[in-house]
Amino acid sequence: MLARIKTFLYNLFSGEQRRLRRLWASALDEEVKLNRDLSNLKEHAQASLQHWLSNPEVIRKVLEELREHKPILVTRNFAVVTKYSDVIEVLSHDEDFTVKQIYAAKMERTSGSFFLGMDRGAQYEGEHAKLQMAIHPKEDVPRIRKFVSENADMLIAEAKRNGRIDVVNGLFRLIATRLVEHYFGVPGPDEATMMKWHRTIFRDIFLNLNNDPEVMKKATASAEEMNKYMDELIARRKAELAGGDDGRDDVLTRLLKMQSDPETGFDDAGIRRNVGGTILGAIETTSKAATQAFDQLLNRPELLRVAQEAALADDDQLVFSCVFEALRFNPHNPIIIRHCDRSYTLAKGTTREKEIPQGSMVFAATLAAMFDPEQFPSPNEFRTDRPAGKYIHFGYGLHTCFGEYLNVAQVPGVIKRLLRQQGLRRAAGEEGQMRFDGPFPDSLIVTFDA
């Protein structure tokens, strides 16, 4: 069986994918050899992760083959989990599969301690609960939808003069940055600086698994600038509130007002850490999800027309279904990483049962899980009738994305305004293809009728 997988991988890749081919062919060799010879495989896997993230079809084929023949791959250093039920089990058992060893130190060095890098415990529960009190989804989501729609229409109207728009930096990423100002109350010195800060810090914390010193250097510089700015912003807003309530209603203002009750309020440093940690994923994650979902719709002209008709008919449910089904084919977070804090037997009682050794890095492949035919019938078909609750785009369990409520409104909301344009199509040549800045989509130009 393993020989078959190895043959499959050698036949699958060519050209720029050869490095990945060699990596996985080695990883899928006989386990006795894996345990003996893979002392440096972890480093190669980490170095290749960013490449995988920009090649969804490549990684999906590899992971699907794994899911069929070796759904729980265990080596001396790491494990790869590909079945839906097993991915859910990993993400549900947060006391066995933890995050602190992966993210806490990087967060402390950059944005500051934040519950996304904490394991279950009193500090996590206390800080999460306090921040949750400043979030009012029932009232906030309609406001977010209105803001996104108005800004998208304005940017598209401006772009119509030339009949083209870069949907990344001219729309998705820009609106996400403006929403951080409008909803969270953090405008930044200017939009370009905010985008730079967030991209460099996010990349270091969540994607710099091999600790590239240049990535760390850029993130540290951005963090110093952003934290200084945040401290000054908090002090200024406190002074303004002391002079009288100016009627602002954003997350930062709500947290500052909560300081009157020590039981529910953060001190200034706590506000900076938690607001800074929350908005860190609000720009690049949103932009990447919107870009990759939209790109998948462009790949399917018939389904693009379905989505456009739904947008024109204000059928928000169908637009939502089209967008998040499209995102399944290239999710913004195809792999969630955990640390195995103590030896754990995964899928216990099944024929695929495996023990994950203590200290292993665990790659829970949500991309593979969302193509598991046991949970997603006819997984290679684009279907708009799939239950929304099955998708795991925003994780699962304790560390489900805190801003999920925001993204399920913002991502389809901004794409809907774009879908309403007549003659919508990719720009000719390379301009009409996604281009990347490292792991981040950085350009995708489309044209439409003036």
Taking only the tens place, the pLDDT of each residue in 413-422 is: 999 999 999 9
Please check whether residue 52 is in contact with residue 20, taking contact to mean a CB–CB distance below 8 angstroms: yes
Closest CA to 448 of 310, 308, 291, 296: 308
pLDDT at position 36 over 90: no
What is the token pair recorded at 1?
């069986």
Rounded to whole angstroms, the Cα distance separating 87 from 336 reads 9
pLDDT at position 209 over 90: no
pLDDT at position 235 over 90: yes
Rounded to whole angstroms, the Cα distance separating 424 from 20 reads 35
Rounded to whole angstroms, the Cα distance separating 443 from 425 reads 15
pLDDT at position 370 over 60: yes
Higher-pLDDT residue of 279 and 50 is 279
As a whole-number percent, the residues of the chain with pLDDT over 70 amount to 88
CA distances from 263 to 126, 130, 252, 276, 428 (A): 10, 9, 18, 21, 58
Total number of residues shown for the chain: 450
Question: Any idea what DSSP says for residue 434?
Answer: -
Please check whether residue 297 is in contact with residue 449, taking contact to mean a CB–CB distance below 8 angstroms: no
What is the token pair recorded at 248?
């602002």
Rounded to whole angstroms, the Cα distance separating 326 from 292 reads 8
Residue-wise pLDDT tens digits, 305-315: 999 999 999 99
Please check whether residue 95 is in contact with residue 331, taking contact to mean a CB–CB distance below 8 angstroms: no
Q: Specify the pLDDT at position 54.
A: 56
Please check whether residue 177 is in contact with residue 194, taking contact to mean a CB–CB distance below 8 angstroms: yes
Residue-wise pLDDT tens digits, 120-171: 999 999 999 999 999 999 999 999 999 999 999 999 999 999 999 999 999 9
Strand-pair category, 440-443 with 336-340? unpaired
Rounded to whole angstroms, the Cα distance separating 226 from 246 reads 25
Helix axes 18-27, 2-12, angle to 10 degrees: 180
As a whole-number percent, the residues of the chain with pLDDT over 90 amount to 83
Q: Specify the pLDDT at position 426.
A: 98
pLDDT at position 39 over 80: no
CA distances from 392 to 332, 396, 424 (A): 11, 6, 29
Model pTM score: 0.88
Rounded to whole angstroms, the Cα distance separating 345 from 356 reads 6
Q: Specify the pLDDT at position 6.
A: 52
Confidence of residue 324 (pLDDT cuts 50, 70, 90): very high
Closest CA to 188 of 177, 199, 200: 177
Coil, helix or strand at residue 445: strand
Q: What share of the chain is helix, strand, coil (3-state, %, to 5)?
A: 60, 10, 30
Rounded to whole angstroms, the Cα distance separating 366 from 289 reads 14
Rounded to whole angstroms, the Cα distance separating 189 from 210 reads 31
Please check whether residue 78 is in contact with residue 361, taking contact to mean a CB–CB distance below 8 angstroms: yes
Q: Which domains does the chain have, with CATH numbers?
A: 1-69 (no CATH), 101-329+394-447 (1.10.630.10)
